[in-house]
Amino acid sequence: MSSSANKKAIQALAETISKKVEHFNKKEVECLIWRFNALLEAQKHSDGSVSGLDRNQFKVVLHNLFEMTDDFIMDRVFRIFDKDNDGFVTVEEWIQGLSVHFWGTLDEQKRYCFHMYDLKGSGFITRDDIFLLLKDSFHLRLEEEGREDDYQDEQDEINELMEIVLKKMDHDKDGRLSFQDFEKSVKKEELLLEAFGSCLPNFRKKFEQQVLEKQQDE
């Protein structure tokens, strides 16, 4: 597939990157670079040469590797991976992102998820954030029936739901979730880590097999 020069370049790159990220060793980084290049290759067919994965291609990856389905959340994941906000995920961003996404410690994951749900970057998960995150949960029904009254009901329901959630997670009762609130809730019940949408890989083993181990064989 590639020449030995190419191979060497990748090894060198892996060397440098593996020093920057915590949870992957050099071999694993190498595998991830291979995978990244393969994905980039696939993308090139549609448009010219680019520096990284674009939003759509990235979402496809998320869907295929981690079985994520929620479009809204996938957008958020892309935003977080794409640190410099240029609309592309470069190879370095890819590996750094995955390292938290995939092998992060609980603390790192808490921060990652909190960041994910803090839509406006205000440092708090506000009522508006929660509303946006949860509004799709009833969306399907709305389309089916599509009547004004139902829409109002829907709003009421989401509001009621929001009250329940805030009552549970807003420990300092200021009407919004600070990181401390979030951390405290997660400490009490680990499942709340992904309270507002699944954004961590469901199937670690599958990913391990598909990306890390399989590539090592090659």
Partner 1 sequence: MGVSLSKAAQWTTFSPDASKLKSTPTNEALLKEILTFVEQIGSQHPQEADFTFEAPLQWRTTVVTSDLKSDYHIRDSTAWSHETDSREAPPLLTPFTVRVRSLGQLSMLIQAAEDKKLEEVQACLEGNRDFLVKILGPRIASQLLEDGAYADVESLKEDVKDEASEIKARLVALLQNTDTRILRKLLRDFSDAQYDPDFMKVEMDFLQFCSEGDDRLLKSVRYTSDFEFWNGCRAPPWRQAQGEICYVVIESVDTGSLNVTCCTAGVFLNGVGGPGALFISNSRKEFILNSAAGVTLWLLLFHTYIMYIHSVTCRLRDCCSFRKTSSKATLAELSSETSSESEEEEERPEHQPESDFYLSSEFLQIKKLVKYLKKGDQKVTLLMLCCMLDLDLTQDSCNLAIRDEGGLQFLLNLLDTNEDKCKIGALKILIRMSRCVPIQRSMEDMLGVRSLVNNLDSEVTKVKALAAETIANVANFPRARRTVRQSGGIEKLIKLLDCFLKSQKKSDHLENMEAARCGALALWSCSRSTKNKKAICSAGGIPLLGCLLTSSLESMLIPVVGTLQECASEESSRITIQSKDIIKNLVKNLRSNCTDLQIQCSMALFKCAEDTETRDLVRKYKGLKPLVELLNNTNNKELLAAATGAIWKCSISIENVLIFQNDKVLESLAGLLTAQPEEVLINVAGALTEFLQVPANKAVIRKCDGIKPMIQLLLSTNQALLVNVTKAISACATDRENMKIIDELDGISLLWSLLQNPNPEVQASAAWAICPCIGNSKDAMRTVLSFQGFGRIPDLLMSTNNEVLASICAVIAKLAKYKNILATLTDLGIVSLLTKLTNTKDDRLRHHLSDAICHCCQFANNTAAFGEAGAVEPLVRYMKSEDILVRQSATMALFQLSWDPNNNLTMLSRGAVKVSCV
By the criterion CB under 8 A, which residues form the site for partner 1?
Answer: 70, 133-134, 136-138, 140, 157, 160-161, 164-165, 168, 189, 191-192, 194-198, 202-203, 205
Residue 201 CB, shortest distance to partner 1, in Å, is 11
The residue among 83 and 141 lying less far from partner 1, judged by its C-beta, is: 141
d(CA 8, CA 72): 39
Residue 81 CB, shortest distance to partner 1, in Å, is 21
- With tokens 């060793």, the residue in question is 25
The residue among 77 and 165 lying less far from partner 1, judged by its C-beta, is: 165
The residue among 108 and 154 lying less far from partner 1, judged by its C-beta, is: 154
What is the per-residue DSSP string for 67-81?
A: ----HHHHHHHHHHH
Residue 22 CB: number of other CB atoms within 10 A? 12
The residue among 52 and 201 lying less far from partner 1, judged by its C-beta, is: 201
Residue 191 CB, shortest distance to partner 1, in Å, is 5
- CB–CB of 29/18 below 8 Å? yes
Residue 88 CB, shortest distance to partner 1, in Å, is 28
d(CA 23, CA 100): 8
Residue 11 CB, shortest distance to partner 1, in Å, is 27
Quick one: the chain helix, strand, coil %, rounded to 5? Answer: 70, 0, 30
Residue 18, both tokens? 């593996």
Residue 145, both tokens? 């029936």
d(CA 90, CA 79): 12
Residue 115 CB, shortest distance to partner 1, in Å, is 18
The residue among 92 and 208 lying less far from partner 1, judged by its C-beta, is: 208
The residue among 15 and 189 lying less far from partner 1, judged by its C-beta, is: 189
Closest CA to 55 of 91, 86, 12: 86
